[in-house]
Amino acid sequence: MEISGRKSSRPRDYLPSLFWTVMVALGGLGVVGLYFSATWHSRSQAQLRDDAITDVSSAFRNLSYEQAEKIKNVLTKWGERVSREEFGPILLRDGAIALLIAVFITVTIELYAARRLRMQVAQDVLSGVFNKIIPEEIFEEVKSQVIQATALRRDWKIKISLSKDVALNKPGYDLYVSTTILSFGIENLLSQPQRYPLSSGLSLDITGTDSEGKQLPRYEKVTVGSDNFVGEKLASHLSQEGVRLSMPIDLPSRIDGMVESMIVIKEIIRVPDAFNWVTPMVADGATIDIDTTATPDLSFTIEAYHPNKKKLKETIAGQRWVFSEGMLPWQGFEVEVKKKA
């Protein structure tokens, strides 16, 4: 199949090869099993015959040699006849069991292979259609960042509150401490559980220390599910002098729900100025809330880093904005803050 002069990749024959490998292995195991079954059956019958002769000899100790030989010959012929009569049904039973196992494994592998093949064909068709519409290098980005994404950020909420700190009172600068709470659910897009890296980074445009002597910016707290990370427990997941967060989290399978997460950040904001918040992964349900209780003299304007900017709605004047569209990695919002006129 060719679309726009580009050949679609052919589905790989890994699973059919695996199928025949399994079938050959099962056949070999079946032959070995039949051999050992026949050997065991023959030895078992011989042992039963010898045990019967021993029991008869013990029960009748005064038998003459001729009588013992006659009994031995009778039992030997009986054992051989029983062996011949039973071997066929035993062989048939073992063969039937092997056949049922082979059928079960064959059907299982075939169903799995068919599902994988359908997924591969669908991906090839999708690739061909996109290759016809957009350049291949653009589609590769779409495929790696969206189509092949293994997790999704749900209900991305950003809550920002600014406050004054005496340690930041500097002539010529109007600086505030911004406490930002990022909360979201991480949904696994795979059918099986996976370990996913929760990552984040801080901007070092403005640095300093607050009145408690702690560095700014900094991670104040991280919550993953029911686990809280603060202090040394949080520090073990930070690098580059505390400005990079990397925390592996265990995601359940898609049908088992999301992992609720929260990141609390403190940083310095200059007024007037603009700063941004972007998502490192595909996200939806974005909401921005700004608490102006401590800063009634400040005004905020939000703009979406998104082609459809009009989908951003200001639901509470100067305090809440809701974005109804999904967002791709590194899309997000610009927050502009300034003094009220």
pLDDT digits (tens, 9 = 90+) for 271-289: 999 999 999 999 999 999 9
- 9 pLDDT more than 50: no
Q: What is the pLDDT of residue 40?
A: 60
Q: What is the pLDDT of residue 10?
A: 40
pLDDT digits (tens, 9 = 90+) for 221-273: 999 999 999 999 999 999 988 999 999 999 999 888 899 999 999 999 999 99
Count of alpha carbons within 13 angstroms of residue 6, beta-carbon side: 16
Q: What is the pLDDT of residue 136?
A: 77
Sheet order of strands, 312-316 included: 227-229, 218-224, 259-270, 175-188, 151-163, 286-291, 320-323, 312-316
Q: Give the phi and the psi of residue 80 in degrees, each rounded to 5.
A: -65, -40
Token digits of residue 74: 């009778």
Cis preceding linkage at 171, omega within 30:
no
Cis preceding linkage at 217, omega within 30:
yes
Q: What is the pLDDT of residue 32?
A: 64
Between CA 176 and CA 340, with CA 299 as vertex, the angle to 5 degrees is 100
Mean pLDDT, the chain, whole residue set? 81
Q: What is the pLDDT of residue 26?
A: 61
pLDDT digits (tens, 9 = 90+) for 95-116: 667 667 766 776 676 666 666 6
Q: What is the pLDDT of residue 271?
A: 95
Question: With bands split at pLDDT 50, 70 and 90, how would you rate the model's confidence at 72?
Answer: low
Comparing 311 with 129, which gets the higher pLDDT? 311
Least-confidence region, from 9-23, 52-66, 208-222: 9-23
pLDDT digits (tens, 9 = 90+) for 118-150: 666 666 666 666 667 777 788 788 878 888 899
Question: With bands split at pLDDT 50, 70 and 90, how would you rate the model's confidence at 322?
Answer: very high
- 5 pLDDT more than 60: no
Q: What is the pLDDT of residue 237?
A: 96
Q: What is the pLDDT of residue 317?
A: 94
- 3 pLDDT more than 50: no
Q: What is the pLDDT of residue 224?
A: 97
Mean pLDDT across 192-200: 94
pLDDT digits (tens, 9 = 90+) for 156-189: 999 999 999 999 988 888 999 999 999 999 999 9
Pick from 312, 325, 190: which is nearest to 254 by CA?
A: 190
- pTM summary value: 0.65
Q: What is the pLDDT of residue 217?
A: 96
- 208 pLDDT more than 70: yes
- 309 pLDDT more than 50: yes
Q: Can you tell me the distance from the alpha carbon of 180 to that of 221, in angstroms, rounded to the nearest whole number?
A: 11
Angstrom CA distances, 190 to 254, 271, 333, stand at 6, 44, 28
Comparing 30 with 260, which gets the higher pLDDT? 260
